Amino acid sequence: MLKFSLICSCSLEHSRQLHSATSDVLSKLHVVMCAVDNLHLKHRQLAGNYQKQRDLNAWNRAEQKRLKGILYLFCGRYF
Residue range(s) defining the domain that contains residue 64: 38-79
Residue 48, in any domain of the structure: yes
Contact partners, residue 30, CB within 8 Å, separation at least 6: none
Handedness of CA 53, 58, 64, 67 (dihedral sign): negative
pTM > 0.85: yes or no: no
One pLDDT digit (tens) per residue for the chain, 79 residues: 545 555 566 788 889 999 999 999 999 999 999 999 999 999 999 999 999 999 999 999 999 999 999 999 988 766 5
**Is there a domain that residue 19 lies in?**
no
Q: Does residue 17 belong to any structural domain of this protein?
A: no
Residue 60 falls inside a structural domain: yes
Domain count, the chain: 1
In a domain, 7, yes or no: no
